[in-house]
Amino acid sequence: MKGEFRFSNRFSFQDGENEFAEILSEYKSQNVFYIDLTTSNPTQAGFQYPSEAIRHSFQTADLITYLPDPQGDKKARDTIREYYKSKGIEIESEDLFLVSSSSEAYSYLFKLFCDAGDSILIPAPGYPLFEFLSVMEGLRTISYYTKKENLWKLQISDLEPTNLARSKLLLIVSPNNPTGSIFTAADFESIKELLINYNIPLIIDEVFSDYVYDGEVHSTLIDTETPVITVNGLSKILGMPGMKLSWILLSGPAPWKRKTKEFLELISDTYLSVNTPVQNVLSDLIQWRTMIQTQILKRIQRNRTILKQIFSELDLSKKILCDLPKAGWYCILESKAFFPEETFSLRLLKDKQVYIHTGEMFGFPEVENSGRIILSLLTETESFESGIERIIKILKEAENS
Ligand X SMILES: Cc1ncc(COP(=O)(O)O)c(C=O)c1O
How many residues touch ligand X under the rule CB under 6 A: the total is: 13
CA distance 245 to 250: 17
Q: Which of 35, 37, 39, 40 binds ligand X (CB under 6 A)?
A: 40
What are the CA-CA distances from residue 259 to residues 93, 113, 222, 256 (Å)? 17, 12, 18, 5
What are the CA-CA distances from residue 345 to residues 18, 49, 328 (Å)? 13, 33, 23
Q: Nearer Cβ to ligand X, position 99 or 320?
A: 99
Q: Nearer Cβ to ligand X, position 109 or 207?
A: 207
The amino acid that residue 35 corresponds to is I
Q: Nearer Cβ to ligand X, position 232 or 335?
A: 232
Considering only residues 300 to 339 of the shown chain, the ones binding ligand X according to CB under 6 A are none
Stretch that binds ligand X, among 19-27, 96-104, 301-309, 374-382 (CB under 6 A): 96-104
Considering only residues 261 to 290 of the shown chain, the ones binding ligand X according to CB under 6 A are none
Considering only residues 207 to 236 of the shown chain, the ones binding ligand X according to CB under 6 A are 207, 233, 235
Indicate the length of the chain as a whole number. Answer: 401
Bond prior to 50 in cis (omega within 30° of 0): no
What are the CA-CA distances from residue 260 to residues 126, 138, 251, 257 (Å)? 27, 21, 10, 5
Q: Nearer Cβ to ligand X, position 125 or 201?
A: 125
**What is the chain's alpha carbon radius of gyration, rounded to the nearest angstrom?**
22
Stretch that binds ligand X, among 49-57, 95-103, 220-228, 358-366 (CB under 6 A): 95-103
Q: Nearer Cβ to ligand X, position 72 or 335?
A: 72
206 binds ligand X (CB under 6 A): no
| Closest C-alpha to 227, from 211, 206, 250 | 250
Q: Nearer Cβ to ligand X, position 241 or 387?
A: 241
Q: How far is the CB of 135 from ligand X (least distance, A)?
A: 16
Q: How far is the CB of 204 from ligand X (least distance, A)?
A: 10
Q: Is the dihedral of CA 120, 107, 249, 178 positive or negative?
A: negative
Q: Nearer Cβ to ligand X, position 102 or 260?
A: 102
Torsion of CA 133, 96, 163, 374, to 10 degrees: -50
Q: Which of 79, 167, 177, 345 binds ligand X (CB under 6 A)?
A: 177
Q: Which of 246, 260, 276, 379 binds ligand X (CB under 6 A)?
A: 246
- Are 233 and 79 contacting, i.e. CB atoms less than 8 angstroms apart? no
3-state secondary structure of 350: helix
Q: Which of 79, 101, 107, 335 binds ligand X (CB under 6 A)?
A: 101
Considering only residues 123 to 152 of the shown chain, the ones binding ligand X according to CB under 6 A are 127
Q: How far is the CB of 40 from ligand X (least distance, A)?
A: 5
**Pairing verdict, β 320-323 and 96-99:** unpaired
Q: Nearer Cβ to ligand X, position 233 or 371?
A: 233
Angle at the Cα of 395 from the Cα atoms of 394 and 400, rounded to 5 degrees: 95
Q: Nearer Cβ to ligand X, position 105 or 200?
A: 105
Q: How far is the CB of 375 from ligand X (least distance, A)?
A: 14
Q: What is the 3-state secondary structure (H, E, C) of 277-295?
A: HHHHCHHHHHHHHHHHHHH
Q: Which of 205, 323, 334, 385 binds ligand X (CB under 6 A)?
A: 205
- Helix ranges (H only) for 170-288 are 185-198, 234-237, 254-271, 276-280, 282-285
Q: Which of 103, 163, 190, 370 binds ligand X (CB under 6 A)?
A: 103
Stretch that binds ligand X, among 99-107, 309-317, 348-356, 359-367 (CB under 6 A): 99-107
Contacts of 210 (CB under 8 A, 6+ apart): 236, 237, 289, 293
Q: Nearer Cβ to ligand X, position 130 or 344?
A: 130
Q: Is the dihedral of CA 283, 78, 256, 190 positive or negative?
A: negative
**Which residue ranges make up the site for ligand X (CB under 6 A)?**
40, 101-103, 127, 173, 177, 205, 207, 233, 235, 241, 246
